[in-house]
Every structure is written in C-alpha cells, then in structure tokens.
Structure 1
Amino acid sequence: MASYSEVVGRESVALAAREWPTRSVQVSGVPMLVRDVPQDTQTEDTALFVHGLGGSSTNWTALGLLLADRVRGVAIDLPGFGRTPPLGGPAGIAEHAETLLEFMDGEFDRPVHLFGNSMGGSIAVMIAARHPEKVASLTLVSPAMPNPRPSVVSAWFIALSAPRLGPAVLRRSAQLPFDRRVKAAMSMVFGDPRSLPPEFVAMYEAELRRRDEQPWITDAVLAGARSIVQSQLVPSKRSLWADAARVTCPTVLVYGGRDRLVDAGIRVRAQQTFPNARLLYLPQSGHVAQMEHPDQVATAFRQLIRS
C-alpha cells in the first residue's frame, strides 16, 4: 500500500497533465508562445519559467500550479522549441538570453523570480549575473554548467555538436518506432519512469508527438547542443562559472541523484560558487525535478523567499 507522501507526490506530478491558457507575444521577430498559470488570488510577485534543451513551457505546469497562490507564473517556449518558431539564425545560450531579456522588458515592470532547467538554467544564470536588477531570486534545476569531468553524456553532446554527425544521429533516432523513442527519452530524462502516473505519461507522449510535427526542432536541438559544448571551452574568466560567482540574488540549486544528463556531483562546486545559495538534493530524481518532485521544489522556493 502506498504511503501518504507517495500518494501526495503522485498527485503533484499528475498536475503536469493540466492545460494552461496560452497567448502569443512578438519577441525578436517571432511569435513566442506564452503560458500563464491560472490563479484564484492576485499577487504582485511573478515567476518566469525557462525550459531546457528539447523541452517546452509544459515542463513547468505542475510546479507553476503548486506556486500559484504565491507568484504569477509565466512559462515560455524558447525560439525553436515547443510552439515557438526559431530565430533567423542558430540560437544558443547567449542568443536565447537576449531574446528572454527582450521578453522580460516588455512583460514585467519589476524583478522576477527566475526558474531555469538544464540549458534554461544556463540562460537564467547569464541573465541573473549580467542584469541583477531584473531578478529577485533564482531557482536552478539541474543547470547545464560546464563540467570538465568526462562522461557518456558529454560525449553525446559533442557528437550532436559535430556538423555532420549531429544531424545523422538525430535522423537515425527519428526513424525508430515512436514507442521506443518514448521509452528511451523517458529513461534519459526521468529518475524512475515507472513511478510516473498514467496521465503524466500520456501528456509526455502527446508533447513528443507535437515536437515531431515541428520542422525546426532538429536545427534548434543541434544549435543548443553546440552552445552547451562551446560553454565548456570558454576561458574561466568569461565562463558560466564566472557568471555564477557574480549572482547576487538568493538562489536554490536543485540536483537529482539519478540525473543522467547533468552530473549531480557538480552540486558541491555550484553551492560553493553561487554567493547566496542553498541546495536541494533529491536522490531519487532525474533531470527534471520540477516535473518529478514538484512539491519538494515548491517547498524549497517558498523557504527561499520566506527567509
């Protein structure tokens, strides 16, 4: 029999299957899809949610709903992902940061609570470090920070960033039966796919089918992968770690013990580098703790802003 905490946890995860109202905002010459968290109460504080490579605004649905009483949640599809068409040229971390800053200038009149996952975490770090007046707090879930430690995943990203090999890898993957691709994707992203409620799995499959329909997704993934690899090669004084050391706002760092994409061992360096950071380590979580354990991430954020 499942414990009370397990039942509550599954109910929180299942919130990801709910739809948010959407709108379109013209940013950097493209119509950016924006999702707004439904709210019963009004609040002055705003949270902006930024997804990772290959993700979309739907990655934040559960967490946004759990925090709806505390912040007005806004999630976006970065150019080339979800339902937002790409920019005119290749877009990596820096280009997405510039686009997001343009969106923030037009959308918000006060600092926001900025959330970022994976590549979205890198984007959020860059913005918080270089435009501190725009960010009230930072919540980073498995941020894609440079890690010199070699791994199978780093080799995979290097392969994707190669001009000929990258497109060939993605083409071959796209030829696999859909059910095999779903299983492979879930095994890579989630700590324990078997624990996910059926409505969540159905939502995830539907999102992957929508992604298959986007003609630009391959180029967007390749450009993002190249920018992640290139961030490893930037001199230390201009690296994302240098940006992290300049972040002044309160920060929550979230890492999963079963993350196959970001080595959770980097959490020690991260906590030592960000000047005002606290750590949430979830041993059973994979790469997207905001989807797998949204209740615990929500609690960590509430504690951050309460203190």
Structure 2
Amino acid sequence: MPTTEELRTQAALAAAEGWPGVRDGETLRTVALPGMTLAVRRRAAACDGLEPALFVHGLGGSSRNWSALMELLSGDVECEALDLPGFGASPPPDNGDYSVYGHARAVIRCLEASGRGAVHLFGNSLGGAAVTRVAALRPDLVRTVTLISPALPELPPQRTALPTGLLGMPGMPRLMRRVTRDLPAAHRARQVLRLCYGDPARITLDEFAAAEAELERRQALPYFWDSLSRTARGIVNTYTLTGQHSLWRQAQRVLAPTLLVYGVRDRLVSFRMAKRASRAFPSSRLVVMPEAGHVAMMEYPAEVARSFREFVVATAAAEGG
C-alpha cells in the first residue's frame, strides 16, 4: 500500500496530467490541507465579480458530475467543485475517516482555505448530506444551499438502494475486487449510469466515455473499493444517529435559504422524502422533476440551472423586502 505522501504525489500528477473528463474551460488542481489533499475542479467564470459557489458530489462520484451544470452557471456564479477524500483525483484522508462528518470536515477545510468567503453550496446525494452538516455547523461559510437528492436517512429505504448500502458491510472491498476483477470498466460505468439516470436514453456518448475513462483509472487505485465501502458504511451509520447529531435535526438548524431538487424516477433517494425535507429546512424552496433520476444536474442541467437562478432571484427579493 502506498504511503500517504506517495498518494498525494499521485493526486498532484493526476491533476497535472489531466484527469479524465476535464472539459475545455476547466482546470483541476490539488490543494494540500491539514490531514488531506483535495483535488478541486474550476470552471472559468464568464465575467469578474461573481459570487462563489462550491459543488460536492455523491457516493462513487467526483467533481466531474458537476461539469455540465457549472458550464451553464459560469455566468452566474464562480464555480469550483471538489473531489471528496478518496474519490476522483483526491487521495484518502490521513485519518481514514470516511463518515459523512469526515466528508463535511473536508468541505469546511476547503472553504476555509479558499478565502472566497461565503459560497452558494451545492450537494448531491452523499454530498447533500455533508453539505447539510456544513450549513448547520458553519452558517458563516454559506450564502445559499442547493441539495439535489440529498442522502438524508430514509426509512424504509428503497429496495433499489439496498445494494448500495450493502457495500458498507465488512469484507466487501476484498469481495468486490475479486468479483469485478475481470469486469470491463465500460460494463460497470454503464451499470452505474443506468442506476443514476431516470431515463438511460439521455446518457450521451461523451458522458459514457468520460465515465468509463474515469472509472478505469480509479479502479486501478489501491484504495478504490476501500473508500467506496467505508463511505457507504458512513451513510448507513447516519441512520443510527439521534438527537442533535441526527441529519434531520441538523437540517432544522440550516439558516441559509435552501433549494431542494428531487427526481421522481430516483432509484436511490425516494422523491417521497421531498415533503419531509421541505418541512425540515426552515427556509426552503422545492423543485420536483418528474423525469429525473438521482443526478438531475447531469441529466437535466438546463432545468436545474434555471431553478437555481429563479431561487437566487427570489431569495434576493425576499432579503431586499
């Protein structure tokens, strides 16, 4: 197993070489922080003086999941997206903490180090759970919150989400390495995309090619299955937290205006949780997308961008009033 320093060097080289899926107008750099190194994807802003935004991906994803939305919002906000520890081009955290709270800590450290001030904070799935905690603990770092299918505890969970939860069981990294050893990256990429999209017909050839290339590179990393399994376990563990540590209780503490986006065809986070979420977050606006799945920002980026713009305008009007 490579040392932490070797993994950080690998991450820096990955950013320098151009991690798969980096689009024109984007750059990828690494940021050394206490206890971790994070890869950060930046989309060139269309003009100066835009308010900053930070985007946080879901389980098994990366900053690339936000590329389409960041391109559309480049004239509205200054866009950066991070790779959480152990995902994308970011090496594992030094302390091995893959809990939701560990990932939230990574977001906080990234925001503190950026010097960009309070941001429009976006989160999808696992990223939505981490962002919820960040917004509850550090309101000074957040202007608005946009959550796309946030992974807040759902009982009972959807049956189609159970295999993802099973990834967190002890011994799964070794088992998955053995089971998928001869499975082409193209096959796994197709499986993941079909699970996440509401309409698989909307998966473009470019998106599939980028997903395949990224997965092929990530599967070769020695910590790939470990980071995936331990993060899945961290999500499952949030179901057992009560009192002030409950994610639903923390949602009630989020002071920032919150945009909630749910897809009716989501197989991982049920859209039936939308009403509970809209009640939990004190200042929320709900958008339900009938055809979308788990990654609306990839499947329907134009609609998500429009909803965000309308949300920001409505928020500004309310604050001005």
Q: Does 1:306 align with 2:313?
A: yes
C-alpha distance in structure 1 between counterparts of 2:298 and 2:22, whole Å: 7
**1:164: which partner in 2?**
171
Residue 247 of structure 1 aligns to a residue whose secondary structure is coil
**1:8: which partner in 2?**
none
State the TM-score, normalizing by the size of structure 1.
0.90
Q: 1:16–1:277: structure 2 CA closer, same or farther, 3 Å change rule?
A: farther
Match of 1:124 among 125, 131, 135: 131
Q: Does 1:40 align with 2:46?
A: yes
**1:54: which partner in 2?**
60
1:101-116 to 2 correspondences below 5 Å: 101-116=108-123
Residue 113 of structure 1 aligns to a residue whose secondary structure is strand
C-alpha distance in structure 2 between counterparts of 1:267 and 1:170, whole Å: 36
Q: Does 1:259 align with 2:283?
A: no
**1:65: which partner in 2?**
71
**AA of the residue aligned to 2:233:** R
**1:137: which partner in 2?**
144
Q: 1:174–1:282: structure 2 CA closer, same or farther, 3 Å change rule?
A: farther
CA contact (8 A) 1:90 1:220 kept: no
**1:209: which partner in 2?**
216
Paired-residue identity, %:
38
C-alpha distance in structure 2 between counterparts of 1:193 and 1:19, whole Å: 27
Structure 1 residue 167, shift from structure 2 partner: 4.0
C-alpha distance in structure 1 between counterparts of 2:172 and 2:67, whole Å: 34
**AA of the residue aligned to 1:279:** L
**2:9: which partner in 1?**
none
State the TM-score, normalizing by the size of structure 2.
0.86
C-alpha distance in structure 1 between counterparts of 2:117 and 2:23, whole Å: 30
1:186-265 to 2 correspondences below 5 Å: 186-265=193-272
1:18-33 to 2 correspondences below 5 Å: 18=24, 20-33=26-39
CA contact (8 A) 1:43 1:69 kept: no
Structure 1 residue 209, shift from structure 2 partner: 1.7
Structure 1 residue 31, shift from structure 2 partner: 2.8
Q: 1:170–1:38: structure 2 CA closer, same or farther, 3 Å change rule?
A: same
Structure 1 residue 37, shift from structure 2 partner: 0.6
C-alpha distance in structure 2 between counterparts of 1:57 and 1:195, whole Å: 20
Q: 1:158–1:37: structure 2 CA closer, same or farther, 3 Å change rule?
A: closer
Q: 1:241–1:171: structure 2 CA closer, same or farther, 3 Å change rule?
A: farther
Q: 1:102–1:182: structure 2 CA closer, same or farther, 3 Å change rule?
A: closer
1:173-192 to 2 correspondences below 5 Å: 173-192=180-199
CA contact (8 A) 1:252 1:301 kept: yes
Structure 1 residue 111, shift from structure 2 partner: 0.8
C-alpha distance in structure 2 between counterparts of 1:170 and 1:264, whole Å: 32
Q: C-alpha offsets along residues 36-88 of structure 1, whole Å, 9 cap, x if unaligned?
A: 11123112410000011111111101111111111110111111000110012
Q: C-alpha offsets along residues 169-188 of structure 1, whole Å, 9 cap, x if unaligned?
A: 45424542333322211211
C-alpha distance in structure 1 between counterparts of 2:294 and 2:80, whole Å: 21
Residue 265 of structure 2 aligns to a residue whose secondary structure is coil
Q: 1:235–1:174: structure 2 CA closer, same or farther, 3 Å change rule?
A: farther
Q: Does 1:289 align with 2:292?
A: no
Q: Which has the higher contact order (CA 8 A, sep 6+)?
A: 1
Task: Please identify, of 233-242 and 122-131, the stretch whose mean Cα deviation from structure 2 is larger.
Answer: 233-242
C-alpha distance in structure 2 between counterparts of 1:174 and 1:144, whole Å: 29
C-alpha distance in structure 1 between counterparts of 2:116 and 2:23, whole Å: 31
Calculate the aligned-residue CA RMSD, in Å.
1.9
**AA of the residue aligned to 2:228:** V
Structure 1 residue 203, shift from structure 2 partner: 1.8
- Structure 1 gap ranges (5+): 1-14
